[in-house]
Amino acid sequence: MKKTFILIAIIAAGIFSQSCQNKSGEAATDFIGENVKFAAEQYGLQIAEIEKSDKVLNPKSIINGKMKYISPQEWTSGFFPGSLWYIYELSSDEKWKPLATKYTEALDTIQYFTGNHDVGFMIYCSYGNALRLTGNEAYKNVIVNAAKSLSTRFRPGAGIIQSWNANKKKDWTCPVIIDNMMNLELMFEATKFSGDSSFYNIAVTHADNTIKHHYRPDYSTWHVVDYDPETGDIRHKNTHQGFSDESAWARGQAWGIYGFTLCYRETGDRKYLEQAEKAFEFLANHPNMPADGVPYWDFNAPNIPNENRDASTAAILASALYEMSTYDNSEYYKGWADKIVQSLSSAEYRANLGENGHFILKHSVGSLPHNSEVDVPLNYADYYFLEALKRKRDLERK
């Protein structure tokens, strides 16, 4: 009798546990589904406005109540088509596929762009997702050509990809910004598609020198490191978009965390994962990290808590942390990512339907020191928010 009772109790506990897990899974599905439904409706309104113009326009933000459209050469041009691909993937609605294709292929000439390092953002966020979701082999050539273009900015003497051109006013000869870590994914993929290991080797060399020169002992990062391109000597360490040269510009911290996480994925070298983890711990334990996980635009901004938050930083972080959770300390990193996407999905950060220029997220900061794109929607905030939702969904389907 006693054994029977114990057996019944074990079975009941198992049923209860399974029921709780099912309810948790259903809640997560509902949360993601509601966000995807909203994103599709909001972007549907945005697309309708663009299509009425009979032009292929690429929206970036709302500035003073007016939509800011950008050229293919602008660094954020890949994010709008990339968001369309994520909406297509997350909604399973075929109507988004031709739209995503149209706005992706409008960037065709960018595969040959050599004016700065952002060809990685422009091409991989657009064509990379297009290739992943359609299997169109022609897109591989676009990615390889873009990697060749980016390779023209590699400076062997310094072992880095030069981000921006020399700037006499700033006294920059060969500036490299932490954002550049995000462009390495293009290089890794190009090696897979072409068999040319030079792209991989450039990416690894750049990542190694970024660890060596961009990070402070506390694992915060400088925004800009200026090199002598011939010798690799460091000329300056500055900020461009942060509060000061020695401050921790929030989005720069997020770019680094995301970039080193992807470097671990592509190489299997744990030093990159450890770099990402330590850089995240700097943020997670920082006294100025808000409880909702949506950072101020700079962790050393002088008027915290009366400073602008940056939803774009939060979205980038959430996406990176979902990936990081698949490699190490899964509950901790996923818990942080979940908190962030919950915050971004709240009325505080997510727009109402038909408002906010038909972007998803409010309250991002482009460059506060230049009074540029402050407290506005930004296309890359939406892109990484949708990517975070996709990664969350994939994790919770396992």
**Using CA atoms, how far apart are residues 163 and 138, in angstroms rounded to an integer?**
27
Average pLDDT over residues 336-354: 99
Please name the helix (run of DSSP H) or strand (run of DSSP E) that holds residue 61, with its range, or none. strand 59-63
Average pLDDT over residues 337-360: 98
Tell me phi and psi for residue 21, to 5 degrees.
-65, -40
**Residues listed for the chain:** 398
CA distances from 176 to 282, 320, 351 (A): 22, 22, 34
pLDDT tier for residue 24 given thresholds of 50, 70 and 90: low
Which among 54, 118, 171, 233 is annotated as catalytic?
118
Catalytic residue list contains 118: yes
pLDDT at 398: 79
**Using CA atoms, how far apart are residues 355 and 341, in angstroms rounded to an integer?**
20
**Using CA atoms, how far apart are residues 386 and 394, in angstroms rounded to an integer?**
12
Tell me phi and psi for residue 196, to 5 degrees.
-90, 110
To the question of whether residue 118 is assigned a binding role by annotation, the answer is: yes
Average pLDDT over residues 15-44: 77
**Using CA atoms, how far apart are residues 203 and 267, in angstroms rounded to an integer?**
10
pLDDT tier for residue 8 given thresholds of 50, 70 and 90: very low
pLDDT tier for residue 7 given thresholds of 50, 70 and 90: very low
pLDDT at 169: 94
User: Whose CA is closest to 366, among 358, 376, 356, 357?
Assistant: 376
Over residues 72-127, the pLDDT tens digits come to 999 999 999 999 999 999 999 999 999 999 999 999 999 999 999 999 999 999 99
Q: Where are the domains of the chain?
A: 30-397
To the question of whether residue 297 is assigned a binding role by annotation, the answer is: no
Over residues 260-310, the pLDDT tens digits come to 999 999 999 999 999 999 999 999 999 999 999 999 999 999 999 999 999
Q: Which CATH class is domain 30-397?
A: mainly alpha
To the question of whether residue 255 is assigned a binding role by annotation, the answer is: yes
Cis peptide before 98 (omega within 30 of 0): no
Which among 54, 108, 171, 179 is annotated as catalytic?
179
- Statement: residue 357 has pLDDT above 60: yes
Share of the chain above pLDDT 70, in %: 93
To the question of whether residue 367 is assigned a binding role by annotation, the answer is: yes
Strand-pairing partners, residue 344, are: none
Task: Find the farthest-apart pair of alpha carbons in the chain and give their distance in angstroms, rounded.
Answer: 87
Which structure tokens are listed for 216? 């402070």
pLDDT at 362: 99
Say which amino acid occupies 339. Answer: K
Local structure of residue 309 (DSSP, 8 states)? B
pTM confidence score: 0.93
CA distances from 100 to 45, 49, 118, 298, 321 (A): 15, 16, 20, 34, 26
Share of the chain above pLDDT 90, in %: 92
Please name the helix (run of DSSP H) or strand (run of DSSP E) that holds residue 280, with its range, or none. helix 270-284
pLDDT, averaged across the chain: 95
Strand-pairing partners, residue 225, are: 176, 237
pLDDT at 10: 44
CA 229 from centroid of its chain's CA atoms? 28
Catalytic residue list contains 108: no
Please name the helix (run of DSSP H) or strand (run of DSSP E) that holds residue 160, with its range, or none. strand 160-161
pLDDT at 6: 47
**Using CA atoms, how far apart are residues 7 and 129, in angstroms rounded to an integer?**
50
